[in-house]
Structure 1
Amino acid sequence: MNIMNSGEKPRESEAMRGYGAAPFDASEGAVLDIHKLLAIVRRRIWLVLVIAAALMGVATAVIWQITPRYTATTTVMIDTRRTQVIDMPAVLSDLSPNAVALNAQAEIIRSRAVTGRVIEKLDLGSDPEFNPMMDASGPRLLSPRSWLPVFIGRGKAEVLPPAERARVEAEAVFDTVRGALEIVPKAQVASIDIGFTSPDREKAALIANAVADAYVVDQLEAKFQATRQATEWLNARLGEMRVQLDESERAVEIFRAENDLLSASTEGGTLNEQQLSELNSQLITARADLAAKQVRYQRLQQLVRQGGSIETAGEVMSSGVIGGLRQQQAELARRQAELSSRYGPRHPEILKVQAEQRDLAREIANETGRILENVRNEVDIAATRVQSLEGSLDGLRQRASGDNQAFVQLRALEREAAATRTLYESFLTRFRQTTEQEDLQTPDARVISEARVPTVPSYPKTRVLLAAALMLSFGAGLACALALELLDDSIHTTAQAEEMLGVVSLGVIPLVGSKEAGGREGPHGYLLRKPLSSYSEAFRSLRTALTLSNVDHPPRVVLFTSALPGEGKTTAAVSFAISGARAGLRTVVVDCDLRRPKVAAALGLPKPTVGLVEHLARQASLEEVMLHHEASGVDCIPIAAGTSNPAELLSSQHMRELMEQLKRQYDLVVVDSAPVLPVSDTLTLAKLVDTTLFMVRWNETPKAAARNALREFINFGLPLAGVVLAQVDMSQQRKYGYGDGSYYYGNYSGYHSN
């Protein structure tokens, strides 16, 4: 057999397109199709129901075997409103009703301090429900803690030392009781729900209330213990601080006496410090005055160096002498102007006025020089005063330096004594408050709703479990149905045939049962008796499809084959020939399956003595081997005996001549051949026919087998019209092919007379 390698894939794809098959779109198959899912459920509904019913029965039996358990719940509220008999802060702060604090309180309730108190109070260690080592009934399936004796070995537990055995039992009891507790903090309402689950409803309520009481008592004891420890610590600390305070105050007085600081105070300072402060203020003022005068003197010197008129300076302008001289100078200018209008420039009066003006200018210059000298003298006086103050300040600073060093030490000693005194007074006040608080402790939590004996079991939730079991049962059934569907390797619809095989599908041949076939007549007898049946219509449609495939030269020699034996190719070939004969065509059926001939038997003809092999061997003429079926008018060339070289016989020149002769004598030549995969006879024979019909048995032929057989036709370029689904159960096939022609079989079945 020829198996196509990877290098031949393009040729195969091209050949498939040549046969008219649409290329398969992988993305289309990836989309979830609800109709396909519904079709799967319809096809395998009984499998789904059986699996669901079986699993549901098992689940129901298990649920009813579960021992009912009851949950009782006590509600504890965290009360932040405390009774304040005395307005003082508590040693142990109040609880804050936030989520973190409530979660912490929930862990306290689960702790060994609270749970152990309940175990001891109610003697739960001697209860077989909580002590698995005392349970003589053996481990329970749904109680993992009851398997503890099995894990440690019941025999080993008996030989443990008493202390170790007691410890193991105590741990087992604590784990069991804690596992039955359910603590639910509720930050929105500042409360905690304490639930306990037990098969005994009264015991559940009793233990839930006992846990709540133990939690409240644990809170009180914690506050009493904290207050008692605080009082003892404060009392011891006060004795130590009293001694420290006495020593600090004594050190301050001794230092004052030794350093002659009895009149000094930490607020006012010493006399030297006060004098030093006053001299500092005077020095700052003197330095500011010196700086102002130096600036004024430097401005006057700058005007002189730059050649400007010093008379415009502010000191000169403000001088009364300069002002009088300027008035005289203005008067002389006015007189000179009057005289100049009457006399010439060399007149004695004019010369006299000019001489007076020169004298006034010299006087103004002399006065300006005296003003500049006065400013310089003021600068010298201010500088001398600054130097004097600096000298006095240096001497006073040296005298105050010693006092300051001693005073710094005095301040440190006084601060230490004051801090010790403040701390001592604070501790003394807190000690008195704590002592008075010991008898005024109240818990932060209180029980607002005691647990009542439950009437309805909390576990198992029968309805919920049954609903979940029902859903899971159906889910398991659907999963099995889907798994079987995915494992199904057969072909069910024409669309699936085209998609999987890449070749056009030409039609569907319905299955004819033994009841319709009429016993030994077979399907071809049913075709004769029911010409308007769906079985007859299928072959008419198939013949029409072949005719329309090539209108100018419709195929006259048609080969019927399949991938494997038993796929209905012989029945289809005989029925196709009878259908053609009923349509008025001269038809002959040639049985070319030299290994397993069946055409004569299918037509109900007697066993032949000569046949195709004898004719090709020139031992009998065509008329001698030809048989005639009276009921249908179909001629038949049977096979009477086999041969040792069937492939060579079918590829002989005599076979070619026979095909040509039959083609001239008949309108339709139907050739029944062997399957493709077991032998190579069909591939040899396919070269002598016009086209080939490939039969695929519905719900039987493996996809891989059909694909491999078709690959042989494609590799050798043999004529192939398409595939035909044979022996299709139309009532069941509707469940597969939404959109397929057979899906609407019920709608047009009225057109057929079955």
Structure 2
Amino acid sequence: MLQTRISSPPAVPIQGAEHTSLNHSVTSAIGLISRQYPAMILTLLLCLGLVGAYLMVAPKRFTGTAVLMIDSRKMQGLQTQGQTPVDNPIDSAMVDSQVEVLKSETIASAVIKDLHLLDSPEFMRADDGLLSGLSGLFDDLFPQEKPSDRELMQNAIWKIQGGLTIKRVGLSYIIEIAYQSTSKDLAARIANAVAENYITDSLESKYQASRRAAVWLQDRLKELRAQASAAERAVVDYKAKNNIVDAGGRLLTEQQLAELNSGLTEARNKRAEAEAKLQRITAILNADESDSRVILNDLATVNDSMANPVITKLRQTYLDYAARASDWANRYGQNHLAVVNLHNQMREIRRSIIDELRRTAEAYKSDLEIAKAREEAGQKSLNDTIAVSNDTSQAQIVLRDLESNAQSARALSDNFLQLYMVSVQQQSFPITEARVITQASELSSPKTSPKTLLVLLAGVVAGCILAGLVALLLEVLDRAFRTVHQVERLLQVNCLASIPAVGLDSDGVTNSSLGFIRRRLPLWARRKGQGPQAEVGADRQGRSAAAGKVDPKERGQRLLDVNNSVGRFTINSPFSRFAESFRSIKLAADLSNFGNPQKVVGITSALPNEGKSTISEALGQTTAQSGLRTLLIDGDLRNPSLTYRLARSAEAGLIDVVFGKVDLKDVLWVDPQTNLHFLPCVVSSRLSNSSDFLASPQMEKLFAQLREQYDRIILDLSPLAPVIDVRATGSLADSYILVIEWAKAKVDVVERVLRENPLVRDHLLGAVLNKVNLAAMSRYDSNSAGYYRNQHYTRYGYVD
């Protein structure tokens, strides 16, 4: 039973960490169920009972279902001439919007008015059930005023909406309209009425929308017509103001510019031609007059000169004379009179040609001056027209804006006129995209509530979940020590042993709780022979001698009353787990401090009634039985329960020895079987300075003497939480053992007392779990459940 942490456990491999965590989770869940199964079963049964009660009192409800379809092929009731019908598919958001419309108060109020539900007792009657029954009971106890018509209508709308279920079938355009009621006929009628009133509301909304649109269009059309007329009038006024005249689709200034530009080009061409002719004739005239051949050749290049009959005739004559003179010169020589005459005549003819050319040149000069005058006049007209055109172009920018506005206004007016005509016609031809494809009927309204199997299954699931939550809550609220691992993890100390719960009755050993269950008497009220066990005889020495258990040399000594002591169980049942636990504690004390045993061991606990005195007695019996000289001291000066149990008739004890009133040997009590010596503590009245007494030099001197006389001293001390006496025993005890009552000692309390008592914490040999229910403990420590099994001990002859 020795609990010692020798080394840290080996690290779990990373690849097995997930498997280990899963196993730990499953094991923890099984342990939780095994510990809290009574509360879990009770919670589950309570939930099933509530479910059964609900099934018994819940009214039967029927569901009428009508099926509505939103047709994606919109009816084109009115089409303008030449317009092609367009099939616009209905999107998902539109269908979902129609579902919300079906749930609206408008549809609900229309159904109520259509079916006259306010006058129907079947509809207005409250549903049977537990809640409605309680509501009716309160109405009878506390009568209220009769509701108004508005309140009745609102309540009816809420009732319609509460029983109505609208849902879309998948991603289709089908909408199911279901209504629950205690009447099959009413459920079917309301479901059908919802569908019909939805279609009617859709038609009415379209008619109202068309009518409002027609009224608005009519007013708007008047405004647009006025705007179009005003825009066209502004165009005409602007043209008149800026002298903008159209001629065949073109402005007059544009036509004038084209004509003037053409005339100017023609004048420039004539001026250039006249100037070229004048230059050519001037060049001919400026040539060498003696060179007749050059003059005649140049004359041939002038077209007009060739067209002059005088020059042509003279030139022809000149050529004839030249030919004749050449012929005669060849015949008669150059000096012949005839040749000379011909040359003279040729000279005269050439002079006449030159004179004629001069007259032609003067004519060309006149033509050039006329061409220049015409060009300058055309250029001036063009410049004037361009100036006028620029002004007209600037005005045209504004004119185009005015014309565009006029055209837009007129087009908008025409479009609105067309829309108005269509809207007026559609008022008498409303359409809707919804149609009913399945009518609800009384025969097709099955029972839908309550669903027994589903409710039972939900009750079982909810009960299991609630049972698990209750178990977890109880587990969280359970802040008591229940396992060895918990003690070592939270307190960071070794758990020396887990002592099972045993007890004694008048017949011997039983498996009752550890320790005596007795009424605590006030210390100052306790007297020799008082208490619930006053029937114990005073002649213990005689009974012990008659039993043959006392050495004749020790017949004069005071003998301990251990017949009804649980601590004696370690001697009477040496092969029990109880005895083995105390041997584990003794061995831990022997092996502590590297083989140097702790001579004075203080036994304490956090709170009273945790069994520290019984632990002290049983450890003393175990140590004394091993052959060591052992002294058991009752050091609980405030409540010496060990003295009350083992030496009820003692008249002197520890206090008297410390004050020197009696000798130690005169107050010692002895167990003849184990030779355990016991130093009682007799208190006649309450002590307020018990801590000063324990820390006094006289006490230290006494313990120094006791260390020389005994091998082991077991010191039963007071609890840590109520009093501070243990803090004064630092010079007396070598180490301490903390007794923790299993399933009773609170974690927070024990941790706090250890923080407040650093002396005990620093010299703590270990902790002991007392009054352990091993069967229950195995459920809390599922990983080490096999450690507590009986077969491991029975194989070695141990019994409980």
Whole-angstrom CA distance in 1 between matches of 2:630 and 2:370: 155
The one-letter code sitting in structure 2 at the alignment partner of 1:637 is: L
1:98 aligns with 2:91: yes
Give the equivalent residue in structure 2 for 1:625. 667
Give the equivalent residue in structure 2 for 1:581. 624
Whole-angstrom CA distance in 1 between matches of 2:118 and 2:163: 14
Give the equivalent residue in structure 2 for 1:274. 255
Per-residue deviation, 1:126: 0.7
Give the equivalent residue in structure 2 for 1:342. none
> 1:281–1:501: structure 2 CA closer, same or farther, 3 Å change rule?
farther
Give the equivalent residue in structure 2 for 1:448. 437
Give the equivalent residue in structure 1 for 2:163. 180
Per-residue deviation, 1:173: 2.9
Per-residue deviation, 1:578: 1.7
Give the equivalent residue in structure 2 for 1:673. 717
Whole-angstrom CA distance in 1 between matches of 2:129 and 2:617: 72
1:501 aligns with 2:491: yes
What SS does the aligned partner of 2:715 have? Answer: strand
Per-residue deviation, 1:636: 2.6
Contact 1:693 1:724 in 2 (8 A): yes
Whole-angstrom CA distance in 2 between matches of 1:578 and 1:179: 78
Whole-angstrom CA distance in 1 between matches of 2:447 and 2:763: 76
The one-letter code sitting in structure 1 at the alignment partner of 2:668 is: M
What SS does the aligned partner of 2:145 have? Answer: helix
* Cα distance per residue 1:192-229 (max 9 Å; x no partner): 33222222222111221122223333444555666677
Give the equivalent residue in structure 1 for 2:288. none
> 1:747–1:391: structure 2 CA closer, same or farther, 3 Å change rule?
farther
Per-residue deviation, 1:469: 4.1
Whole-angstrom CA distance in 1 between matches of 2:168 and 2:660: 103
Contact 1:74 1:195 in 2 (8 A): yes
Give the equivalent residue in structure 1 for 2:546. none
What SS does the aligned partner of 1:75 have? Answer: strand
Whole-angstrom CA distance in 2 between matches of 1:445 and 1:742: 73
Per-residue deviation, 1:76: 1.7
Give the equivalent residue in structure 1 for 2:734. 690
Identical residues among aligned pairs (%): 30
Contact 2:199 2:434 in 1 (8 A): yes
> 1:145–1:285: structure 2 CA closer, same or farther, 3 Å change rule?
farther
Per-residue deviation, 1:501: 3.4
Give the equivalent residue in structure 2 for 1:201. 184
Whole-angstrom CA distance in 2 between matches of 1:73 and 1:722: 75
Per-residue deviation, 1:539: 0.9
What SS does the aligned partner of 1:674 have? Answer: coil
Give the equivalent residue in structure 1 for 2:361. none
1:592 aligns with 2:582: no
What SS does the aligned partner of 1:73 have? Answer: strand
* Cα distance per residue 1:104-161 (max 9 Å; x no partner): 4345444566444432332112123554xxx5899983699999999x984254xxxx
Q: 2:193 aligns with which of 210, 226, 241?
A: 210
1:73 aligns with 2:115: no
Alignment of structure 1 residues 365-514 onto 2, 5 Å = 389-397=378-386, 442-453=431-442, 454-514=444-504
What SS does the aligned partner of 1:699 have? Answer: coil
What SS does the aligned partner of 1:723 have? Answer: strand
Give TM-score scaled by structure 2 length.
0.63
Whole-angstrom CA distance in 1 between matches of 2:607 and 2:460: 43
Contact 1:109 1:211 in 2 (8 A): yes
1:663 aligns with 2:644: no
Contact 2:736 2:760 in 1 (8 A): no
Q: 1:141 aligns with which of 122, 131, 136?
A: 131
Whole-angstrom CA distance in 1 between matches of 2:567 and 2:616: 10
The one-letter code sitting in structure 1 at the alignment partner of 2:614 is: T
Contact 2:482 2:780 in 1 (8 A): yes
The one-letter code sitting in structure 2 at the alignment partner of 1:394 is: N
Whole-angstrom CA distance in 2 between matches of 1:639 and 1:251: 128
Contact 1:73 1:208 in 2 (8 A): yes
Whole-angstrom CA distance in 2 between matches of 1:137 and 1:729: 55
Per-residue deviation, 1:541: 1.0
Give the equivalent residue in structure 2 for 1:124. 117
Per-residue deviation, 1:546: 1.3
> 1:282–1:584: structure 2 CA closer, same or farther, 3 Å change rule?
farther
Contact 2:568 2:621 in 1 (8 A): no
Whole-angstrom CA distance in 1 between matches of 2:702 and 2:400: 139
Whole-angstrom CA distance in 2 between matches of 1:475 and 1:130: 38
Whole-angstrom CA distance in 2 between matches of 1:733 and 1:285: 130
The one-letter code sitting in structure 2 at the alignment partner of 1:199 is: T
The one-letter code sitting in structure 2 at the alignment partner of 1:753 is: V
> 1:148–1:194: structure 2 CA closer, same or farther, 3 Å change rule?
farther
Contact 2:126 2:132 in 1 (8 A): no
The one-letter code sitting in structure 1 at the alignment partner of 2:193 is: A
Give the equivalent residue in structure 1 for 2:153. 170
Contact 1:557 1:689 in 2 (8 A): yes
> 1:558–1:441: structure 2 CA closer, same or farther, 3 Å change rule?
closer
Per-residue deviation, 1:511: 1.6
Contact 2:600 2:715 in 1 (8 A): yes
Between Structure 1 and Structure 2, how many residues are aligned? 625
Whole-angstrom CA distance in 2 between matches of 1:282 and 1:667: 152
Per-residue deviation, 1:725: 1.9
Contact 2:59 2:127 in 1 (8 A): no
The one-letter code sitting in structure 1 at the alignment partner of 2:677 is: D
Per-residue deviation, 1:662: 3.8
> 1:392–1:68: structure 2 CA closer, same or farther, 3 Å change rule?
same
Give TM-score scaled by structure 1 length.
0.66
Contact 2:657 2:664 in 1 (8 A): yes
> 1:68–1:96: structure 2 CA closer, same or farther, 3 Å change rule?
farther
The one-letter code sitting in structure 2 at the alignment partner of 1:693 is: I
Contact 1:220 1:443 in 2 (8 A): yes
Whole-angstrom CA distance in 1 between matches of 2:103 and 2:676: 95
Q: Which moved further from structure 2: 431-440 or 552-561?
A: 431-440
Give the equivalent residue in structure 2 for 1:539. 582
What SS does the aligned partner of 2:565 have? Answer: helix
The one-letter code sitting in structure 2 at the alignment partner of 1:194 is: I
Per-residue deviation, 1:499: 3.7
Contact 1:737 1:743 in 2 (8 A): no
Per-residue deviation, 1:496: 2.8
